[in-house]
A = this chain, B = another copy of it.
Amino acid sequence: MNASAQKAVDKQKAGEVKEVTLVEAVNMALAWEMEHDEHVVVLGEDIATNGGVFRATVGLKERFGFKRVMDTPLAENLIAGTAIGMATQGLRPVAEFQFMGFIYAGMEQIVSHAARMRNRTRGRLHCPLVYRAPFGGGIHAPEHHSESTEALFAHVPGLRVVIPSSPQRAYGLLLAAIRNPDPVVFLEPKRIYRAVTQSVADNGEALPLDTCYTLREGDDVTLISWGASILETLQAADKLAEQGISTEVIDVATISPLDRETLLCSVAKTGRAVIVHEACRNGGVGAEIAASIAEAAFLDLQAPIVRVTGYDTIMPYYRNEQAYLPHVEDIVEAVEQVIAL
């Protein structure tokens, strides 16, 4: 099909509801936005001809051409910095880091430039870009392919850090991230890239950033999580419901800047909070959430805030990775512990 025919078909399909996985939702959002905003370009290693090692960008090059869908040389620092240059020119680059474990080479560009261009120039230039990276463990991958270091980015002023945990949120949040006029680090939980499908209307509707998503309402305890751990958190909520414990489950979604209000309202109601994340505990985003709640909801809290997290060590290679990851039982145990107080 040639480009203009494709375009027509696509317009017809707009709003079509599709049953998709999280990674397909990412692809759908990219395609929608490229179709509707010519400023959107994507770049990264193996994203064009190969469609990305996880197929997140599949079909984009065929549809939008190699000028807007760019395979780069192998250099993450370059990818991070090139996107910045493009963004200062009003493009909306979406740059992929193949795995979060390889984002560190781009750290200087991200911290010292992407996050600062607007502030430094007092708004003259800004960086409407998205850095995408699959993250997290549990897929039997080699070393460096299982990282969850979202906390490193959450601490950097000037960045937004957004993490979807379902196909619908992947679609809506990625659209919002691309349209956002400031840099967004968009981390995709690869363990649940294909875990479930969901109906997503391909209608270009973004979901709000900077807000938590309450996935389940409850009274006894607030469960706070994001990314792939939402899966186990919801499973734990089910189990706890069987025991008669009513949990409120919150997907933080934008881990920085943090929507403390939703978290505090929930804890004001439940009096208890358990935070679940895959990243190691020491200095994880769970620490900021716990510290914020413990400070602001001091009088509401009926039990200490417990964190269920990865260990403070290097993610083991895959034979032992399950021993590192938080499991449903760990969450259940933690809730039982805080409920007992």
Contacts and interface: CB of A to CB of B under 8 A. Distances in A.
Interface of A: 76-77, 101-102, 104-105, 107-108, 111-112, 115-116, 119-120, 143-144, 149, 151-152, 154-158, 256-258, 279-280, 282-288, 290-292, 294-296, 298, 301, 303-307, 312-314
A120 B314 CA distance: 9
Contacts of A285: 283
Contacts of A291: 286-288, 290-291, 294, 305, 307
A58 to B, nearest CB: 28
A295 B307 contact: yes
15 contacts: A104-B107, A104-B111, A105-B108, A107-B108, A120-B314, A151-B151, A154-B282, A155-B284, A157-B282, A256-B282, A258-B282, A287-B288, A287-B290, A290-B295, A291-B307
A298 B287 contact: no
Nearest 7 pairs between A and B by C-beta?
A294-B294, A155-B283, A290-B291, A104-B108, A298-B304, A107-B107, A287-B288
Contact of A280 (B157, B283, B286, B307): B157
A130 to B, nearest CB: 20
A158 B314 contact: yes
A256 B151 CA distance: 15
Contacts of A283: 151, 154-155, 256, 283, 285, 287-288
B119 A314 contact: yes
A262 B292 CA distance: 22
Nearest to A283: B155
Given A119-B314, A298-B304, A112 B107 contact: no
A338 to B, nearest CB: 10
A306 B295 CA distance: 7
Contacts of A314: 115-116, 119-120, 157-158
